[in-house]
Structure 1
Amino acid sequence: MRALSRLPLAPVFLALALSTQLAACVPAVIGGAAAGGAMAADRRTSGIYIEDQNIELKASHAVKQELGEKNNITVTSYNRNVLLTGEAVDAASKEAAEKAVRTVDNVRNITNEIVIDTKSTFSERNNDTYITSKVKARMVKENRFPSNYVKVVTEATTVFLLGIVTKQEAEDAVDIARSTSGVSKVVKVFEYID
């Protein structure tokens, strides 16, 4: 016991502090592996996959800078095609959101599906998230096409489908989404490969 009491405390505390930080690396490694797996099962190149994430971040920031917090605008990018969904307080805000996204590099097209309405509530957005998860789960379960080929976004119970798909995959995705409980409408924002 005497030998332990003679150890300087600084290295002991440093070792203890470092050991607590290593645990944070595990989720980062697992998250990176999951993202790599998602990229491998996607028709987009890894560069475009990453560029889509960058576009979403930059465009969301540009919209927030332009409009502030009074609107609820969601930016989704798939193969550099941007889908804008959510609610704007007026037509000028809807147009300003699209204009802000046009300033972002590498955006090919913009589909503006923003509606003029009051900002959705937390429970409404949670319901949309639940609908998205149900649609994705059914795509996996029915196994008509690789589920990573189609991105699902839900806004006010309207499901938007994005992806690089064949016509048959598009039909299957629409059929699955349309027949999922809680879905009021399905909008295709696909690129076709056949």
Structure 2
Amino acid sequence: MKRFVLSALSAVVAASALTACAPLVIGGAAVGVMVSIDRRTPGTQVDDETIELKAGARMRELFGERAHVNITSFNRQVLLTGEVPTEQAKQQAEQALGRIENVKGVVNELGVMGVSTIGQRSSDTLVTGKVKASLVDAQDLYVGAFKVVTERGTVYLMGRVTQRESDRATQITRTISGVQRVVRIFELISEDELRQLVPSQARPAAAKQ
């Protein structure tokens, strides 16, 4: 059983360009593009996309404009971020997600507080872009292995990574201006598993040494 570890724009175009992957299009060629740089199976990628769509619809049904809830699914592990008005609403959101098909775990990081402002969300988007750019610049990390989410200055790092990659990405993220806290939600894999998942020629040159 895999171990899950939880520890406590510039522009939208720039942020999306740094994801290093094309959008997932079910039934189209774009899936193949993502598969080539994603450590999840094609079926899991589709499941994650479906989970996010279903969960988003469910949150809108439950809370309407009273809450701001973001759902991020990676390898069927779901991260909840944003703001809800009460502790009861926070638990309600988690319970609703747990009933969605294929969800195998929920990390509930919702804040019980007023909804964040557009300015706060723009600042978070900028931080996410800077984190992704720094991961690219590191040269010994593969940015496509990470999913980065920022909420109120807290950066959440998700992905299937080795201990070395986890530690290195965390170290880099903590040095970025605007980052108040780093939370890791990684599925840790061994170096042998990484070699099976990602051919040597597809890994950053600095990481092969």
Deviation at 1:181, TM superposition (A): 1.0
Asked if residue 161 in structure 1 is aligned to residue 157 in structure 2, the reply is: yes
Deviation at 1:157, TM superposition (A): 0.7
Residue pairs, 1:1-194, within 5 angstroms: 36-194=32-190
What is the distance in 1 between the residues matched to 2:31 and 2:132? 17
Q: Which has the higher contact order (CA 8 A, sep 6+)?
A: 2
For 1:172, the aligned partner's letter is: R
What is the distance in 2 between the residues matched to 1:137 and 1:34? 23
Runs of 4 or more, structure 1, over 4 Å off, are 31-35
Quick check: 1:150–1:161 contact (8 Å CA) kept in 2? yes
1:46-86, Cα deviation, whole Å (9 max, x unpaired): 11111101100101111111122111110000000000001
Aligned match of 2:12: none
What is the distance in 2 between the residues matched to 1:140 and 1:35? 22
Quick check: 1:139–1:173 contact (8 Å CA) kept in 2? yes
Task: Determine what percentage of the aligned residue pairs are the same residue.
Answer: 42
**For structure 2, which runs of at least 5 residues remain unmatched after alignment?**
1-21, 191-209
RMSD, aligned CA: 1.7
Quick check: 1:66–1:100 contact (8 Å CA) kept in 2? no
What is the distance in 1 between the residues matched to 2:51 and 2:168? 28
1:35–1:129 Cα change, 3 Å: farther
* Structure number with bigger Rg: 1
What is the distance in 2 between the residues matched to 1:179 and 1:121? 25
Q: Which has the higher helix share?
A: 1
What is the distance in 2 between the residues matched to 1:156 and 1:33? 35
Deviation at 1:33, TM superposition (A): 5.4
For 2:130, the aligned partner's letter is: K
Q: TM-score, normalised by structure 1?
A: 0.81
Quick check: 1:38–1:148 contact (8 Å CA) kept in 2? no
Quick check: 1:52–1:77 contact (8 Å CA) kept in 2? yes
Q: TM-score, normalised by structure 2?
A: 0.75
What is the distance in 2 between the residues matched to 1:81 and 1:60? 15
